[in-house]
């Protein structure tokens, strides 16, 4: 049987599970691959209008991936993957501006270009949080700056007026004194490849559950792992002792109601105008190993 391929994705859990031998404890025969730091962040710096959905559509090498739940919902509905329904995650996120920006409130963001990832968590969550404050026509999303590290770097260099960030980049710009205008925390879902062994997927999440308990108990022992996925050119500036635990895995069902409500929200906002969302049928889109 082939090894279970693990690729960390901007959170602490896989690193903690690896360090503490949790994958071995649950009997998982795995291969660990890191692609962000080694590529200088370019692995997650994609062209305009290529984002999380497109990467799932193309196919990822690791057996279980994660992305915002909206994208995994749509990708699973279209048959590109299966949504793991036995858990989900919640990630802190926010819209940041420079410290000297005249933007002080969410209302001030009307018409301002906000850098986000196309059909990725920042795309959906920025709409979701700002539609409380303004009409959709006033929410000005910019996709041209690529994905997470690129827009973080461009915000730091003064090339952007505003950017939506999460995980390590969220904590980094906060450390550097950038101002968070509004919180846009969002849900993340597991994306299970069609050829993943169900027993291995269960073992993988068993290890992550143990890792979550360790992170909850002593987060300060593990925040240094953010460096493992940051381009090295930023390491001298990073003080991960000041950073929070980031994404938290919630071991509760991603229910049919959540799935259908999210699918309807995406449709209502015309994020996939080409009809690429698929069936929207929960039973055809998810996998669950809870029984």
pLDDT level of residue 92 (50, 70, 90 thresholds): very high
pLDDT of the residue at 161: 98
What are the tens digits of pLDDT across the range 68-78? 999 999 999 99
The chain-wide mean pLDDT, for the chain, equals 91
What are the tens digits of pLDDT across the range 212-240? 999 999 999 999 999 999 999 999 999 99
Residue 189's DSSP bridge partners are 67
Which among 131, 136, 13, 120 is positioned nearest to 64, based on CA atoms? 13
Q: Determine what percent of the chain is predicted with pLDDT higher than 70.
A: 90
Look up the pTM and report it: 0.92
pLDDT exceeds cutoff 60 at 174:
yes
Measured over the CA atoms of residue 153, residue 111, residue 166 and residue 50, the dihedral's sign is: negative
pLDDT of the residue at 53: 60
Length of the chain: 291
The yes/no answer on whether domain 93-186 falls in CATH 3.40.190.10 is yes
pLDDT of the residue at 43: 46
pLDDT of the residue at 55: 65
Find out whether 58 and 148 touch, Cβ atoms under 8 Å. no
pLDDT exceeds cutoff 50 at 39:
no
pLDDT level of residue 243 (50, 70, 90 thresholds): very high
pLDDT level of residue 290 (50, 70, 90 thresholds): confident
Over range 248-257, report the average pLDDT: 98
Topology match between the domains 4-90+187-287 and 93-186: yes
Exposed, middle or buried: residue 158 (CB in 10 Å: 0-12, 13-18, 19+)? Answer: exposed
Collapsed DSSP state (helix, strand, coil) of residue 1: coil
pLDDT exceeds cutoff 70 at 52:
no
Q: Where are the beta strands (DSSP E) in the chain?
A: 4-6, 30-32, 64-68, 82-91, 93-97, 113-115, 140-142, 163-166, 179-183, 186-192, 248-250, 286-287
Measured over the CA atoms of residue 68, residue 69, residue 72 and residue 77, the dihedral's sign is: negative
What are the tens digits of pLDDT across the range 131-153? 999 999 999 999 988 789 999 99
- Annotated domain spans of the chain: 4-90+187-287, 93-186
Over range 154-169, report the average pLDDT: 97
Find out whether 75 and 189 touch, Cβ atoms under 8 Å. no
288-85-46 Cα angle (round to 5):
125
Domain 4-90+187-287 CATH (choose: 3.40.190.10, 3.90.79.10, 1.10.1740.10, 1.10.490.10)? 3.40.190.10
The residues, any chain, with a CB within 8 Å of residue 112's CB and separated by 6 or more, are 103, 140, 161, 162
Q: Rounded to an integer, what distance in angstroms lies between the CA atom of residue 10 and that of residue 131?
A: 27
């Amino acid at each position: 049987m082939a090894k279970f391929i693990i690729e960390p994705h901007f959170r602490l859990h896989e690193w903690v599970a690896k360090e503490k031998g949790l994958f071995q404890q649950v009997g998982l025969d795995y291969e660990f691959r890191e692609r962000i730091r080694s590529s200088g962040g370019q692995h997650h710096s994609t062209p305009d209008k290529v984002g999380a959905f497109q990467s799932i559509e193309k196919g990822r090498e690791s057996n279980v991936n994660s992305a915002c739940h909206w994208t995994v919902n749509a990708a699973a509905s279209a048959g590109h993957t299966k949504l793991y329904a036995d858990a989900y995650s919640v990630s802190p996120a926010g819209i940041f501006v420079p410290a000297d920006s005249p933007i002080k409130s969410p209302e001030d963001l009307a018409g301002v270009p906000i850098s986000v990832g196309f059909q990725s968590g920042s795309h959906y969550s920025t709409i979701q949080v700002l539609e409380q404050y303004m009409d959709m026509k006033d929410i000005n999303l910019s996709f041209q700056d690529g994905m997470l590290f690129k827009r973080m770097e461009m915000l730091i260099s003064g090339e952007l007026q505003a950017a939506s960030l999460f995980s390590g980049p969220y904590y980094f710009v906060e450390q550097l004194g950038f101002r968070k205008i509004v919180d846009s925390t969002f849900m993340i879902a597991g994306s299970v490849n069609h050829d993943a062994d169900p027993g291995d997927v269960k073992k993988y999440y068993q290890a992550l559950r143990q890792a979550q308990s360790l992170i909850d108990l002593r987060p300060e022992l593990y925040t240094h792992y953010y460096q493992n996925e940051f381009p090295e050119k930023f390491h001298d500036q990073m003080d991960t002792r000041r950073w929070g635990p980031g994404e938290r895995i919630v071991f509760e069902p991603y229910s049919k109601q959540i799935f259908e409500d999210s699918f309807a929200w995406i449709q209502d906002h015309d994020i996939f105008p080409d009809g690429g969302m698929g069936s929207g049928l929960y039973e055809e889109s998810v996998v669950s190993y809870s029984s």
